[in-house]
Structure 1
Amino acid sequence: MASASSTSARSLFADSKMRLADRVQVNVNNVASLARHIIRGSKSSEMIMHSARNFAMQEHAIENSEINLKKLQLIHVHLAYQHDSIMRSSQQLEEVKEQAFSQTNFKSSNLMLVRFLRCQLKQKPNFTVEEPIPVFCKATKFYNKVALRDSVGTYTYGNITLAAKELSEKILKRINGKINSQIAFLCPNDASYVITQWAIWMCGQAAVPVSKLCPFEMIQYFAINSDSKLLITTPENAELFDRIATATKIDLMILDSDLKEIALTKSINKFSPDSPISFDINSTNAMILYTSGSTGYPKGVVLTHKQILNQISALVDAWKLTSDDAILHVLPLHQSHGIVNGLLCPFYVGAKCIMLPKFNANDVWAHLLGIKSVTDRQKITIFMGTPKLYTLLIEEYNTLFSKDLKIEDYIRSTLKSKTRLMACSTDTLSPILYQKWIDVTGHKLLQHYGMTETGMFFSQKYGEYYEHGYVGLPLKGCSVRIRKKNEDDKYETLLECNHRNNDLKLILDRQLKTVTGELLLRGDGVFKKYINKATDTAFTDDSWFKPGDTCEYSTEKNMFRVVARTDFDIIDTGNYKISALQIETQMLNHPDISDCAVLGVPHTKMGNYIAALVVLKNEISSDALKEWMKSNMPECTVPNIIKIVPCIPKNAMGKVNKMELSLQMFMNNSELFNTGIHELLPVHQRAVNFFDRLALRDEKGKYTYGNIYAAAAEVAKEISKKVDKRVGAHILYLCPNDSSYIITQWAIWMSGHVAIPVSKLHPRELLEYYVDDSESDLLISTAGFSELMQKVSKNTGKKLMILDENIQKNTLTKSANKVEELQKIDNNTNAMIVYTSGTTGKPKGVVFTHNNIISQINTLLDAWRWKADDVILHVLPLNHLHGIVNALLCPLYVGAKCVMLPNFNSSDVWSHLLGVKTPDNKKISLFMAVPTIYAKLIQEYETVFEKDEKMRDYIKTYLTSKVRLMISGSASLPVPIYNRWLEITGHKLLERYGMTEIGMCISQEYDSDRTPGYVGVPLRGCSVRIGNQMKDGHYKTILECTNKNDKIDLKFYTEVTTDTSIVGELLVKGDNVFKEYYNKPDLTKKEFTSDNWFITGDTCKYSIKMKLFKLLGRTNIDIIKTGGYKVSALQIETQLLGHPEVLDCTVVGLPDAEYGQIIAAVIVLKNENFTVDALQEWIKAKIPSYSVPRTYTIVKSIPKNTLGKVNKKELILEMFSDKS
C-alpha cells in the first residue's frame, strides 16, 4: 500500500494534458491519502496528517497557480519519505536481491580484476588505500557498491569498470595499439562520460574532454592543438563531431547508443582480463584540460596520473570525503572543478555520484530535498556549485518557497541535517549571496581556490571555521609564496607557507597584520606543461608557478584571500591600486543589482578608469546607482563609468573574460583608450578567437575566419614542400584583391616564411627586379596572373606555385584544419618585405618583423577605435602598408569584417557606402582612401546625385549615421577635397601621416575637431623629433614629442612663444619602425642617426598654438629653395586646387642660375577655355609673391602611382628636360 502511494506520488504529473485545477485536486487528495497511510504506520505522524488537511482546505487558493503546484509536488513527496517505516517498493527489493546475488560471485572474479589493474600499473601485490593508484583501479575495492546514478539507471563500480574495459579494447584497435596518445571526447553528464574517461586511461592514453557549450571552432581548435589521434562521442553529438573529423582528418568513433543500458547488465563473471596495457603513473599523461580563456588564448594543460592523484588526495583529506557520501553533480565536465572535485574525488573513496544531464534549479532542489536520491535512505551529503549556480537556486527558492514559513523551516532543517558540505568557488561570491544561502539552508558555503594548472590549492577545511571571502590554507602537498617588487624593481618574498605531511609551516619576512602581493604556487599537483606551448613565462627561475593572481594573508585570521587577477582585476587608477573583485562585492550589496563586472580600462589622464557593467533586478538610473556607491564605498573605488546591460557573458564556470568584455564594451568609448588589451600575436593566430565570425566578403562569396584559416593551412603545407628552407624563405606573391590574397599571406606566415606582396600594376621588368633584389625563394600567383608570372619565373630562374583556380570557391566550404607541422612564430623574426613606391629613387625592400607589424596594428586599433562589429570597405592596393596594415590586418586582428572590391570603381564604392550592396547587419562603418579616390568619388557624386536635392539630403544623413570614420592618407589631402567631402557626406576626413618604413606614426585624434592639412599628434608608442641637419651630418634637435600610453610628452630645445611654429626635418623612433632595407646595410645605416632615429626625409611643422603637426613635403623635392626662401610645393598645390577650374595639379622646383630654383606648376583644367593668365592673377591674391609659380604647363592628366603619388623626379625629366 505504501509502495503504491509512493509510486503514485512520483508519477503524479506525468500527464501534461491534465487541467491545472484537476492536477491540484489529485495532488491534494494524494497527500491526504498518503498521510493517512503513514499514520497507520506510526502514531507520531499526526502532524503530517494535520498538514495534509491544511493543504486540502487551501485548495481554492492555489487552484490556478503553477508555482504552488510545484510546491505541492515537492511537499507531498517529502511526506512520502518522512517516515522510516514505509516499506521499500518491489522494484527496490529486486535491486537489493540483485546486489546480494552479485556479492556471492565477487570474490573469485574480483581477484581477476585486481590482477589486471595491478598489471597495468606495475603495482606491488598488496597495495593499501594510501597508495596513489588511479580511480579506475580503486574501483576494485568498491566493486559491488553503487557508484553513479543518471537518467538511465544506477550503476555499480563493477558495471562502469567492465564497460570501460570493453571500450578500451575497441579504442586500442582503432589507434593500432599505440599508447601515450591524446583522445578528445565529448559525452553528456552521465555514465557514458565516466566509462569513456576510464576506457581512455585503461588503454594508456590521455583524455581531452570537451564540452558542447564550446563553439564548434573552439572544439576543433582543441582537437588540433592537442594533437588528438581519435575523437570519441555519443550518437547525440555525432553530427558535430563528424564535421570536426572531416575538417581535421582525425578518426571518429561513435559510441553505441545503448552503451549505458549495456553497462547496467555487466556482471563480474563475464570479465576476462587480456592484453593489459601497463604505464607509469608518474610520467604518463592522463588529461589535457583547456583553460577557460578568460585571460587570453585557451591553453592545453597537461596533467599526469600522479598529479591528478595528488589533487584528489589533498581534497579527500581537506573535505573528509568517505564512501558514505553522495554528491550531486551539476558542473561541466571539461574543467577541473567538475572533473576532479566533483567526480574523481567521490569515486576515489567509493562514494556515490548523482549526475544531472544539465543544471536545472528545480531539479537540483528536488534532489537536495531528497525527492530523488540513490536509495530511500541515502540523501545528498555534498553539493558543489559556482556563485552563478547558487544565485539561480536562490531565485528558484524565492519563486517557490519564500512565502511559506513551514516550507522554509522544513528546507532548512532537512538540508542542515542531511547535507554535510556545500562548497563554492570564489568567483565574486557576494556577501549577500553567502548570507542568503546560510539563511535558506543553514549552510556556510565552504570556499576554495584553484585553477586548471594546479587543481585546488587553497580550501577551508571541513568542520573548521569559515569566513566569507577567505579560502583557508594551502592543501596537503601544496606550498605558496607571496612576493612583491621592492624599490629596486626586484622581487622579494614576503611569505612562504608549506603544507607537507599534514605539517603546516608558515614563514613571514616581517610581522604584519596582512601580507599582500603576487601569488606563487608549487606542489605535487601542479601541471606538467602546456601542450605545444612553452611554459617558460609561467614559472619563476626557481620553478614556482605564477597563476597571475594577487593574494592576501591575514595573520589575525590565519587564512588566505585571493584578491584579484593581477593583470585584469587590480586597477591602477589615480595613484591607487584597487581590487575589481572588492568593488564587485560591494556593488552586489545593492538590492537592485543582480550581477556586475568591474573593469579597468586605460585612460589618458587617470592611467585607468574604473568601468562597471551592471545587470539590474529593478529599474534604477545609473546616476542613482552612483550616488548610492558614493555613500557606501570609498571615493577612490566608485566607478567612473556605469553601463546598464541585460546580461554579462560568462563561460560554463561562471567566469567573465574581461579582456574580451573590454573590447566589446569600451573599444569605441571616446573617453577610453584600450591600451595593452590586445594579445601580441600575428593576425592568423588571433583568428582562432573568431573562427565562426564573418571575416571577408569578395565577389565570390563570404568567408569566415575559420574558412580562411583552414585554406591557408593547406596552402602552407604546399609551400613547405616547395621550399628547401624550414623557415625564413622569401616568398613573393601576386594575388588579386580578394580572399586569395589573405589566404596566401597567412599561409606564408603559417609556414614560417617572409611575405613579399607585389601588384598587378607593376610591369614585368619591375617584378623581376623585386624577385632578384629580395632574393626570393618561391613565387606564388593565382591562375589569373599565371602567364605574367611564368615569364617572371623563367627570366629569374625561380620556382612558381600557381594556386588552385577554385581556391575561393573551395575556401567557402572549409573549416579549420589540422596544422601540427606548421611553424611556431618568433615575433622577432622577419614577416614581410614591402617595396617603397620609388617616388624618391629606386624601390627599396623594407623589412618588417612580426613585432613591427603587431605594434603598428595595436597602435591603430586604439587610435581609431577598431571593434569586432566594424565593417570596412577595402579598395586600396595590397602592396603598400595603407592597404595591408591599415585597411586589412587591423580589422582582421579584432574580428571585424572586410568587404573587398577587386579594384576601385566609383559607382561600386558609392553603392557599398550607401548600403545598396550590403545586408542591413553588415553596413559599412569605416572607409579609407587616398585623395585621388576621394576626388573621383566627388566627380561621380556631381554627375549622378548632385541635381537631386532629396538624394543629396539622404546621402548626407545616411553616411553620418551609418559610417563612423573616414580616413585619407598616402598623399597630401587638398583642402578643397576635404571641404567638398564634408559638404557631401558630413564627414571630416581624418588625416594621418606615415610611410613604408614606419607605418603610421602621426594621426589626428579620433574625437578631435579636425583641421585640414594638419595630421595630428604622434600615435601611442611613437616618438618624433623636428631637427635641422648640421654641416657635419648630425641633426640638431629643436623639438621632441613622445606618446607614452596616450600621454603626450613635449620638449622644446629652443625658445618658443604661443605664436611660434617649428619647422625642420622629421625624425621618428618606435617599435613601428622597420628593421632594415633588405641587403642594403650601408643605406640602412645612412637613414638612421647615431642615436637610432629614422630620418624620414620629410619637412614638418609643429604649431605651438594648435598643438598639431603638419607635413610640408619631401625635403629634397617638395621644399623649393627660391630667391632665399624655402617654399612648400604642397602648400602651393593646395591653394591652386582651391580654384574652381583646376581639376588637378602638381608643383616642382626647376634649377635656375639666378634664383637657385624657380617654381613650376603642372595643371589639369576642367575648362579648356580657361587661361593661365587668369589663374596667375587669381593665385597672386592667395599666396606670397615668392611662392607664385613662374611657369605653367597644361596637361590632360598627371601620372600617379596606385597610392596617388606623383614621382616628381620623373615628371621633371619628362616635361622639363631642358631645365633638368
Structure 2
Amino acid sequence: MTKINSGNNMNLPLIDRAKQHGNKIAIATTEGSFFYHDLLQTSAKIATILLNNIKDLQEQRVAFLIPSGFQYVATQWGIWRAGGIAVPLCVSHPQPELDYVIADSGASIIIAHPSFEALLKPIAQERNLRFILTSETLPEAVSLLPEIDITRRALIVYTSGTTGKPKGVVTTHQNIQAQITSLVSAWEWTSEDRILHFLPLHHIHGIINVLSCSLWVGAECDMLTKFDANIVWDRIIEGNLTVFMAVPTIYVKLITAWEAADRNSQNKMSDGCAKMRLMVSGSAALPVQVLEKWRNISGHFLLERYGMTEIGMALSNPLHGERLAGYVGKPLPEVEVRLVDESENIVSPGKSGEIQVKSPGVFLEYWQKPEATAKVFRDGWFCTGDFAVVENDNYRILGRMSVDIIKTGGYKVSALEIEEVLRTHLNIQECAVVGVLDSEWGERVCAALVLQSGSNLTLKTLRSWAKERLATYKVPTQIITVEDLPRNAMGKVTKPSVAKLFSAL
C-alpha cells in the first residue's frame, strides 16, 4: 500500500495517538468502515482545503453541519489540524437558530453536507462567508499543517439556552484532553472497546464522552445518523458492543420496543446487553423506575454521571463497586467538587448547596462574553448553578438553582424530587414540575403530566395521593395533561417551555 502523507500536528495528542492505530477501524457506518489512517489522511486533506494556501487559520471559527458519520469526524479533525475552532451545528435546528450560532461565533467558513446546502448557503451568501460542501473533491497533495499548541481554542459548543440566548462555550485542546483522559481512566476505555453512537454531535455528551474517548484509545465507534430503537436493538443483538451510552428518553424508547417484542426476541435483546461491560446514562435525570426496568431487561445497573457543557463530566458512579439509584457518585479523576451555600460557605454533609467545580477540563470562556464568564467563576471554581446534597458519600442532584429549585411559601423545593414521586403513580407515564409565579406563594408548584394510555387523573385525586408521599408544600397546586413534554435535542425537558403552558391558562 502506498503511504499517503497524513500531515503532521504531532503536538495535537488526539491526532498523534491515532497514528498508533492506523490499520484499526476507527469509524463504522452504513456506508462502510473507515480506518484510523483514513481519518488521518482525509482530515489532512480537509485541513488543506481550509487553509487555502495560508499557513494557519489562527483560530478562525468554522461552522459545520454534517450528519453523524465519518465525514463529520474527518471535518472536525480537519478544522483542528488547520488551526481553526470547530463550531458544530445541530442537524435539527431551523435556519434562524443556525444563523444565530454562525453570527454569534463570528464564523468565517461554513462546511455543509449537500443535504443542508439549501439551508446554509443563503446564510453564507448573506454574510459573505466562504461556503464548502463535503461533496467537493479533496486534493491529492497535503499541505504542511501548522503546529497547534494545546492551549489554543478548539471548540465552541452552544448551550441549550434555557436561561436566555444560547452562549458559546469555548474549550481548548487542553481542556478537551483533560475531559477525555479523566473518563478514559474512570471507565477504563481500551482499544478493544466498541461503542454505538447515535447521540447529537453538537453536544458534549456525543462529542467527548462517546466519540473522542473512543478515538483517544483506538477503539471502534459505530455511528448511526439518527436514533432508531429497532436498529439499535439489532446492533445490540449482534453482541459485539462493549460500551453503551444514552440519555434517559432513549432508554425509555428501548424499553418500550423490548416490551413490544416477542419472548424469543426479548431474550436475544437481553443477551446482547449482557455481553457489554458498561452502560451509562446521562444528560438528564434518570427516573428510578426506568433504571429498575432497564436492570431487569439488561442485567445492567446503569452508571449515572453528572456533567455539563462548561465542565465536561465531574461526577460519576463507580465502574466497579456499588452504584446508588438516584445518585451521580463521586468526583472523577483530576476533578475537585464542593458544595457551597448562598454565602459561599462550604456546606456540611447532608446539607444542600450549589455544585462548584475545579479541574483542567473546565472551559476557558463564554465566547465574547467576558462579563458572563466572570460571573460564573469564584476564585477558580466554576459555579454550575446546580444544587446537590452529599448523602452516603455520594452526590444527589436536586436540580437547577433557577429552574428546578422552586421557592414556595418560604421553602426551597426540588422539582426533581417531586417528579420522582409523581412518576411512581400508576397513571403517570412522565412529568415535569415547574414553579409558576404567584403573588401569595412566590411560586406555585405545577406539574405537566403525560398520562398512561386510557388514564384519567384529576387534580383533587392527585393531591390526595401525593399528600401521603410529599410534604404539603411540595404537592402540585395545578396540573395539565399533555401528549408530550417539550424537549431539546438531547431529550432534556425544557422547563421554561413547560412553565409557559401554565402561563397560558
- Tell me the distance in 2 between the aligned counterparts of 1:1213 and 1:925: 42
What does residue 19 of structure 2 align with? 688
Look up the match of 2:86: 755
- Residues 80-139 of structure 1: per-residue CA shift (max 9 Å, x gap): xxxxxxxxxxxxxxxxxxxxxxxxxxxxxxxxxxxxxxxxxxxxxxxxxxxxxxxxxxxx
Query: How many Å apart are 1:805 and its aligned residue?
Result: 6.4
CA separation in 1, counterparts of 2:480 and 2:193? 45
Tell me the equivalent position of 2:291: 978
Structure-2 separation of matches of 1:1188 and 1:532: 58
AA aligned opposite 1:1177? S
The one-letter amino acid of 1:1200's match is R
Which residue of structure 2 lines up, in the alignment, with residue 12 of structure 1? Answer: none
Residue 1152 (structure 1) shift: 1.6
Offset at residue 724 of structure 1 (A)? 9.0
1:1095 aligns with 2:408: no
**Equivalent residue runs for 1:110-149 within 5 Å:** none
Partner of 2:113: 782
1:1199 counterpart (486, 489, 498): 486
Residues 778-830 of structure 1: per-residue CA shift (max 9 Å, x gap): 111111111111122123322211112688xx9xxxxxx87551111100001
1:1148 corresponds to 2:462: no
CA contact (8 A) 1:1137 1:1144 kept: yes
Task: Using the TM superposition, give the Cα deviation of residue 1092 of structure 1 relative to its aligned residue in structure 2, in angstroms.
Answer: 1.6
1:828 equivalenced with 2:151 (yes/no)? yes
Query: What do the CA deviations read for 1:372-404 (whole angstroms, capped 9, x no partner)?
Result: xxxxxxxxxxxxxxxxxxxxxxxxxxxxxxxxx
Q: Which residue of 2 aligns with 1:929?
A: 246
TM superposition shift of 1:716: 0.8
Distance 2:187 2:169 in 1: 25
User: 1:363 maps to what in 2?
Assistant: none
CA contact 2:9–2:16 (8 Å) conserved in 1: no
The 1:951–1:1085 alpha-carbon spacing in structure 2 relative to 1, beyond 3 Å, is: same
2:339 counterpart of 1:1016: no
Corresponding residue SS for 1:1014: coil
Task: Using the aligned pairs only, state the percent identity.
Answer: 39
| CA shift digits 1:161-212 (9 cap, x unpaired) | xxxxxxxxxxxxxxxxxxxxxxxxxxxxxxxxxxxxxxxxxxxxxxxxxxxx
Specify every segment of 5 or more residues in structure 2 that has no aligned partner in the other structure, as ranges.
Answer: none
Match of 1:1026 in 2: 339
Deviation at 1:709?
Answer: 1.1
Tell me how far apart the structure 2 counterparts of residues 1102 and 730 of structure 1 sit (CA, whole Å).
Answer: 40
Asked if the contact 2:436–2:502 (Cα under 8 Å) also holds between the matched residues in 1, the reply is no
In the aligned structure 1, how far is the partner of 2:9 from the partner of 2:320?
Answer: 43
Q: Structure 2 residue aligned with 1:988, among 301, 305, 329?
A: 301
Aligned partners of 2:301 and 2:323 also within 8 Å: yes
Query: Which of 17, 26, 39 lines up with 1:708 in the alignment?
Result: 39
Partners of 1:839 and 1:1205 within 8 A in 2 = no
Alignment of 1:716-865 (within 5 A): 716-721=47-52, 726-804=57-135, 819=142, 821-865=144-188
How far apart, in 2, do the equivalents of 1:1080 and 1:741 lie?
28
The alpha carbon displacement at 1:1149 in A equals 0.5
2:443 aligns with: 1157
Judging changes above 3 Å, is the alpha-carbon distance between structure 1 residues 774 and 248 closer, same or farther for their aligned structure 2 residues?
A: closer
Q: CA deviation digits over 1:511-569, x for unaligned, max 9?
A: xxxxxxxxxxxxxxxxxxxx997xxxxxxxxxxxxxxxxxxxxxxxxxxxxxxxxxxxx
Amino acid of the structure 1 residue aligned with 2:476: P
Partners of 1:1211 and 1:704 in 2: how far apart?
Answer: 45
Q: Relative CO higher for 1 or 2, CA cutoff 8 Å, sep ≥ 6?
A: 2
Label 1:723 to 1:1204 Cα distance change in 2 as closer, same or farther (>3 A): farther
Matched, 1:943 2:298: no
Structure 1 residues 1155 and 248, CA gap change in structure 2 (3 angstroms) = closer
Q: Secondary structure at the residue paired with 2:490?
A: coil
Q: Is the 2:88–2:201 Cα contact (8 Å) retained in structure 1?
A: yes
Equivalent-residue separation in structure 2 for 1:1085 and 1:893 (angstroms): 32
- Contact conserved, 1:723 with 1:777, CA < 8 A, in 2? no
TM-aligned CA deviation for residue 956 of structure 1: 2.8
Matched, 1:955 2:265: no
SS of the residue corresponding to residue 496 of structure 2 reads helix
Equivalent of 2:346 in 1026, 1032, 1037? 1037
For 1:1214 and 1:1142, locate their aligned partners in 2 and report how far apart those are by CA, in whole Å: 18
Alignment match, 2:320: 1007
C-alpha deviation, 1:955, in angstroms? 3.2
Distance change (3 Å), C-alpha of 1:717 and 1:1115: same
Distance 1:1158 1:1119, change over 3 A: same
| Cα deviation digits, residues 1095-1120 of structure 1 (max 9, x gap) | 100001111xx110011100011111
Which residue does 1:30 correspond to in 2?
none
3-state SS of 1:765 partner: helix
**Which residue identity does 1:695 align to in structure 2?**
A
Change beyond 3 A, Cα 1:930–1:854: same
**1:699 and 1:902 in contact (8 A); partners too:** no
Say whether residues 1:1117 and 2:448 are aligned partners: no
State how far apart, in whole Å, the 1-side matches of 2:472 and 2:136 are. 60
User: What is the rounded CA distance, in whole Å, between the counterparts of 2:334 and 2:9 in structure 1?
Assistant: 32
Pairwise CA distance, 1:1188: 1.1
Partner of 1:1186: 473
The secondary structure found in structure 1 opposite 2:182 is: helix
1:1211 aligns with 2:492: no
Q: Which protein is bigger by CA-based radius of gyration?
A: 1
Q: In structure 2, what is the Cα distance between the partners aligned to 1:1000 and 1:792?
A: 34
Q: 2:431, 2:443 → 1: CA distance?
A: 19
CA contact (8 A) 1:723 1:729 kept: no
**SS of residue matched to 1:831:** strand
- 1:1166 partnered with 2:489: no
**Contact 2:9–2:148 at 8 Å: present in 1 too?**
no
Q: Distance in 2 between matches of 1:869 and 1:1175?
A: 50
Describe the superposition over 1:423-457 as per-residue Cα deviations: whole angstroms up to 9, x where unpaired: xxxxxxxxxxxxxxxxxxxxxxxxxxxxxxxxxxx
Q: Which residue of 2 aligns with 1:910?
A: 233
1:949-1008 per-residue CA deviation (whole Å, 9 max, x = no partner) reads x44444334422x11111010011111111110011111110000000000011111112
Counterparts of 1:715 and 1:990, CA distance in 2: 37
The letter of the residue matching 1:1180 is K
> In the aligned structure 2, how far is the partner of 1:958 from the partner of 1:734?
33
Corresponding residue for residue 1079 of structure 1: 368
Q: Give unmatched runs, 5+ long, in structure 1.
A: 1-239, 250-530, 534-679, 811-816, 1039-1053, 1055-1059
TM-score normalised by the chain length of structure 2: 0.95
Count of aligned pairs: 503
Do 1:723 and 1:778's aligned partners in 2 also have CA atoms closer than 8 Å? Answer: no
Counterpart Cα distance in 2 of 1:248 and 1:861: 29
Distance in 2 (alpha carbons) for counterparts of 1:723 and 1:1148: 52
Mapped partners of 2:416, 2:189: distance in 1 = 31
Contact kept? 2:9, 2:81, Cα under 8 Å: no
Corresponding residue for 1:160?
none
Shift of 1:737: 0.5
1:105-254 alignment runs, 5 A limit? 240=1, 243-244=2-3, 247-248=4-5
